[in-house]
Chains A and B, each alone.
Chain A
Amino acid sequence: MPPQSRPLSPHLQVYRPMYTMVLSISHRASGVFQSVGLLLLAYWLVAAASGAQAYATAAKVFANPLVKLAIAGWIVAFWYHFFAGIRHLVWDAGFGFEKPVARRSGQLVVVLAALASLFTLALAWRHLGGGA
């Protein structure tokens, strides 16, 4: 048997990171992150339905700085996935594949996601900010 000298199929690591490619993998990452966040959503609703004591316990969990940070991250992930998802739907409809257009739409997604995140985080600050 001769040694296998044929090239393997390329892995992500061998590419020089391009921002369009980083945007693409971020779409998945933000989606999976939000999926994990569904656990928190379900816990919050179950606690609310279970009674005052269960809700008090949940409130302590949600007051944890790490959980607050995760929720802030969820908001950012939501807006990124929202705008990147719309970009994907436009592609699915058959538009915007040209290289310059795809680059511009990628930049637009990042800018819009950042603006929407800042606005929403400002709105969320009274819940997420501070020590309470």
Chain B
Amino acid sequence: MNLRSPLGYVLGHGSAREGVHHWWHLRTTSAALAVLGVWFLFAVLTLPDLGRAAVVAWLARPLNAVLMVLFVWTAVWHSALGVQVVVEDYVRTKGPRVLVLVLVRFIHVLIGAAALVSVLKLALGGKA
């Protein structure tokens, strides 16, 4: 037997106070990606060829490396925030939802770390 009214359950919790932060970062990363994404697309497509030598030479140039780091960073961030919204909308049960959210975040961090370390290795002259 529970005497709490339905209203009593929801009052006093306040907001999670994270919504605006998430919303705002989704927008700022989208603005950055509107520039970085287009740069990436055309930079790759206008390379002389996509052989390893051409790619390594391309990332050895500091400006390209910097933009590539920013692109990967922002793309992974934007993707993590975006996929999070999709999961929150479509996975209704709380347990699986938390699990999927954490998993999605881990995968994004893994992708970002792998891509960034690779760019930095090529940028900082690791001759492999």
Q: Which of B27, B31, B83, B114 contacts A35 (CB 8 A)?
A: B83
Nearest CB of chain B from residue A70's CB, rounded to whole Å: 15
Q: Please tell me if the beta carbons of B76 and A38 are within 8 angstroms of each other in the complex.
A: yes
Q: Is A51 an interface residue (CB 8 A)?
A: yes
> What size tier do the contact residues of chain B reach?
35 or more
Q: Please tell me if the beta carbons of A45 and B114 are within 8 angstroms of each other in the complex.
A: yes
Q: Collect the chain A residues with CB atoms within 8 Å of residue B118's CB.
A: 42, 45-46, 48-50
Main secondary structure of the interface of A (DSSP, over half): helix
Q: Please tell me if the beta carbons of B128 and A51 are within 8 angstroms of each other in the complex.
A: yes
> What size tier do the contact residues of chain A reach?
20 to 34
Task: Fill in one digit per residue for A14-57: 1 if any B CB lies within 8 Å of its CB, else 0.
Answer: 00000000000000100110110011011001101111100100
Contacting residues of chain A (75-132) with chain B, CB-CB under 8 angstroms: 75, 78, 82, 85-86, 88-89, 92, 120, 123-124, 127
Q: Is B98 an interface residue (CB 8 A)?
A: no
Q: Is B30 an interface residue (CB 8 A)?
A: yes
Nearest CB of chain B from residue A40's CB, rounded to whole Å: 10
Q: Please tell me if the beta carbons of A50 and B50 are within 8 angstroms of each other in the complex.
A: no
Q: Please tell me if the beta carbons of A85 and B34 are within 8 angstroms of each other in the complex.
A: yes
Q: Collect the chain B residues with CB atoms within 8 Å of residue A82's CB.
A: 34, 37-38
**Other CB < 8 Å A-B pairs besides A46-B114, A75-B41, 15 of them?**
A28-B82, A34-B79, A45-B72, A45-B118, A46-B115, A48-B122, A50-B118, A55-B52, A82-B38, A88-B30, A89-B27, A89-B30, A120-B45, A123-B46, A124-B45
